[in-house]
Copies of this chain bind each other. A is one copy, B any other.
Amino acid sequence: MNSPGGPERTGFLLSQLGSFAAARFAELVKPLGLTPAMAGALRILARSPGLSQRALADRLGAVPSRVVVLVDALEAAGFVSRTRDPEDRRHHRLDLTDAGRAAMGRLRGAAEQQNADLLAPLDAEERAALGTLVSRLAVAHGIDPDVHRGFADHPESR
């Protein structure tokens, strides 16, 4: 009773499509000197200046040692600065540099581009319908917009 492209294949196709979308995003941010993981961290720091590495780790759902590497990369790229917090010298305040803010702007452009590329085959009405459904699913499954998930981000998948 189900067609070959019917709803029973949706989960599978969604996996594939999600991976495709993520790959396209990675491609678009690469020229900006960013990996998807760096982009995710940058987005959080843009909204929460002065965050500690520990707090960033919690937001990302990552371990502190992972954040060291991530912040190392962002600092080396000149997008983020580490400053010892004078109040509690154990903390590092993380802030976007001017270059980091500029990168954020280009990052938003890349996200728009990815979205446009992905949805190009659909008309406005269909995009709206898909957006609503996808958003409903994301909310229902408790998907946190801060965590830029990769396959490897799921401990239970190993």
Please tell me if A112 contacts chain B, counting CB pairs below 8 Å: yes
Contact between chains at A21 and B14 (CB < 8 Å):
yes
Contact (Cβ within 8 A) B115 A150? no
A140 contacts B121, C-beta separation under 8 Å? yes
Query: Which B residues are CB-close (under 8 A) to A137?
Result: 17, 118-119, 121-122
> Across the interface, do A143 and B20 meet the contact criterion of CB distance under 8 Å?
yes
Query: Do A156 and B23 touch across chains, with their CB atoms under 8 A apart?
Result: yes
Residue A76 at the chain B interface, CB threshold 8 Å: no
Looking at chain A's contact residues, the main secondary structure is helix
Contact A19 B149 (CB under 8 A): yes
15 A-B contacts (beta carbon < 8 Å): A6-B131, A10-B130, A11-B21, A11-B25, A12-B145, A13-B134, A14-B14, A14-B118, A15-B18, A19-B151, A26-B151, A27-B157, A126-B133, A129-B133, A151-B151
Contacts A13-B145, A17-B134, A122-B136 supplied; 10 other A-B pairs, CB < 8 Å: A6-B131, A7-B128, A8-B115, A10-B115, A13-B143, A15-B148, A17-B18, A23-B151, A119-B137, A122-B133
